[in-house]
Amino acid sequence: AQTVTQSQPEMSVQEAETVTLSCTYDTSESDYYLFWYKQPPSRQMILVIRQEAYKQQNATENRFSVNFQKAAKSFSLKISDSQLGDAAMYFCAYRSAENRDDKIIFGKGTRLHILP
Amino acid sequence: DSGVTQTPKHLITATGQRVTLRCSPRSGDLSVYWYQQSLDQGLQFLIQYYNGEERAKGNILERFSAQQFPDLHSELNLSSLELGDSALYFCASSPHVGGSYNEQFFGPGTRLTVL
């Protein structure tokens, strides 16, 4: 079974600084997708960024980028120029591309605080 | 706004009772998913429906059941409720099944409190 581990329950960063959230996963599959979701205080789940495992190039979305290390099964999220609106719980997530289902497996989350 | 709607937003009930949570997917989406978010278990996949048919089951208790109707809305039925069923229940929808761009859009959730 696949697992997703986020070892940092909480992190803090100064506004305008850069922060990196860590994530490791375990799978025997070779084809899969990885995601970072943001859950602000409103509780809405928002997709931040997506990475296909077959792509070597790291995904970027504006101030958000990932460092995908397939051999190490590592998938970290870097937030540049942190803003107050980035304060939220961030979930790393996995979805198989080989299974019949589309279930997403989530990590336990990292709560990110932005210090003004 | 993701386009996925869930009702009710909040639900407070007693142990042993039965409740129904409702989800309307985004227009055109054929897949519906249910997830449970609790303090103990985190975010867990419960069940997936595709075009009216059950496609995948996760950690869904036997006391829980779901269905997707011909108009594609879905309901999650929770019965014989226990204190531990208190959680935020999310519905998500996606256009189809599989593929890298089959993004799941999450609804705002239903907060269930069992007293």
- The whole-number average pLDDT for the span B29-35 is 96
Confidence of residue B41 (pLDDT cuts 50, 70, 90): confident
> Cβ separation of B100 and A97 shorter than 8 Å?
yes
The reply to whether residue A103 touches residue B104, judged by beta carbons under 8 angstroms, is no
Across the interface, of B94, B98, B108, the residue whose CB is closest to A44 is: B108
CA-based R_g, chain B, Å: 13
CB contacts of B106 in chain A (<8 Å) are 44-46
Q: What is the mean pLDDT of residues A44-53?
A: 94
Angle value at C-alpha B21, between A102 and B51, nearest 5 degrees: 40
Q: What is the mean pLDDT of residues B81-108?
A: 90
**Has residue B108 got a pLDDT over 90?**
yes
Contact B87, B12 (CB under 8 A): no
Give yes or no for residue B59 having a pLDDT over 90: no
Checking if the pLDDT of A14 tops 90, the result is yes
Q: Can you tell me the mean pLDDT for A41-60?
A: 94
Q: What is the pLDDT of residue B65?
A: 96
Instruction: Indicate which of A4, A38, A45, A68 best probes the interface with B, i.e. most B CBs within 10 Å of its own CB.
Output: A45
Residue in chain B nearest A55 by alpha carbon: B100
Partner-chain contact B2 A42, CB within 8 Å: no
Contact A6, A110 (CB under 8 A): yes
Written as one string, the DSSP assignment of A18-40 is -EEE--EEE-S-SSEEEEEEEE-
Q: What's the rounded mean pLDDT across residues A50-72? A: 95
pLDDT mean over A20-24 = 98
Instruction: For residues B79-88, give the mean pLDDT.
Output: 96
Q: Average pLDDT, whole number, for chain B? A: 94
Contact A45 B103 (CB under 8 A): no
Q: What is the pLDDT of residue B67?
A: 97
Q: Above pLDDT 70, what percent of chain A?
A: 100
pLDDT reading at B39 higher than 80:
yes
The backbone torsions φ and ψ at residue A45, rounded to the nearest 5 degrees and listed phi first, read -90, 120
Counting residues of chain B whose pLDDT is more than 90, the rounded percentage is: 86
- pLDDT at res. B40: 83
Contacts of B31 in chain A (CB under 8 A): 102
Give the model's pLDDT for residue A95: 94
Tell whether the model's pLDDT for residue B101 goes beyond 80: no
Q: Please state, rounded to an integer, the average pLDDT across all residues of chain A.
A: 95
Nearest CA in chain B to A102: B98
Contact A103 B48 (CB under 8 A): yes
Chain A CB within 8 Å of residue B70 CB: no
Q: Which residue of B has its CA nearest to A96?
A: B98
ω into residue B8 within 30 of 0, thus cis?
A: yes
How far apart (Å, rounded) are the C-alpha atoms in residues A46 and A83?
16
